Structure formats: C-alpha cells, structure tokens
Amino acid sequence: MRRIRLSAAVVASALALAACDGGSTGPGSSTGSLSFHFAGSSAGDFSASGDLPRAGTTPAVQFVAAVRDSSGEEPIVALVGFQPTVGGRGHLVEFDMQDLRGERTLSLAESCYDQATLAGCAIALIGLNYDLSTSQSVAGEESYLSDAGTVHITNATATRLQGTFSGHATELELAHEITLTQGQFDVPFVPLGALGLNRLPAAGRISLSRLRR
C-alpha cells in the first residue's frame, strides 16, 4: 500500500513564493484561525492562526488560508492550516469541499471518496509531525483521512469562510485512528496565486477502498 502524503506542495509553494516576492501575499492576505482537539492513537490540540509565510521565514511558521479554485469542472474550496511543533516539523491540515455560499452542513463520511463530485461532502486530510522540507514521507509522519463526521459551514461569503466540525479519521498505513472534536475555523479567502498555484492539486480525491487493497 502506498503511503498517503497530504498537500505539502501547497505549503511549500506558499513559502517559496513568499521568499521570492519580498514577503507579501498581496491583496487578500490571510488573517484567520483554525483549531480542534484530536484524541486516539495520537492526541493533542491543533491551533493555527495568522498570515501566509513571509520572506525569510522557514516552514516552522503557523498560518491558515482558504482558497477557491474554479478552473476545473467542479469548483473547489480548500482550507489549509499549518501548526509548527518541534525540529522543523508540524501538523498540516486541509479541508476540501465544493465552492459554496451561505450556510451548509457537509458530510465527512467514507463514502465521499467514491462520489463523482464532492456534492454534500467535505474531505479532511490531517498530517501529523510533517517535515515540510522534503516532498518524501519520512519516519514519524502520520497521514489521516476523514471517514466520519460533519462540517457545518455557518457562513461562506466571497471573502470569508466560517464553521465548525467534528468527526473521525484513519491513518491507513498504520491503522491508527483519531477523533476530532471542538473544531472551528474563521478564515478569509486569499487568491490561489498567494499559494503559488494556478490550480489546486486533487489531494483529497482518493478512494479509501482502493487504498485499503
């Protein structure tokens, strides 16, 4: 079974762009927050806030950003957050969902991975102890995919994404499990270009059943 690795490329692109452009993400610079508690095979609290990385920073910089990608057949929203831990590592979180406005409740169920679209669904990807200095998996990393729970979008506008969530996620290689509670986010949208991307990678569109073979 191949190991799942989350969208470290997204964060790496943001860091590289910040280092090249004088340290500003331009209009729409992110100042938001994302937090939750996780328990089970691993336990702790995730809490990240602040702007995208600036020039001269390292991967050990916490930030949260939400972006929209309408370049494909299915307009997608991604919420990405990074919380540094120790030794240049950190926890990386990404939520993928269809673009939306207003209030909505989305499922984190395992069946979401096998749908043709993300209609009515969200996918959470949680990377614990990630080393963002490499694109390869390294010892000590854990990559969890959501397979139960809900995301309640309390308000989605052209400029901001707010909501709460709770659920369950599984690390497929190690068969570890965690529960997610007390999840909440309040994040402005930034342009895709602020992450150094023209479009989002399809990080979450992986069939759990296929990976378990």
* Per-residue pLDDT at 184: 97
Q: Is the pLDDT of residue 20 over 50?
A: no
Contact call for residues 194 and 72 (beta carbons, < 8 A) = no
**Confidence band for 53, pLDDT divided at 50, 70 and 90:** low
Mean pLDDT of 33-49: 95
How far is 178 from 24, CA to CA, in rounded Å?
A: 36
Mean pLDDT of the chain: 77
pLDDT confidence bin for 163, thresholds 50/70/90: very high
Q: What is the pLDDT of residue 207?
A: 38
Q: Tell me the C-alpha to C-alpha distance, in Å, between residue 8 and each of 22, 30, 174, 182.
A: 22, 18, 20, 25
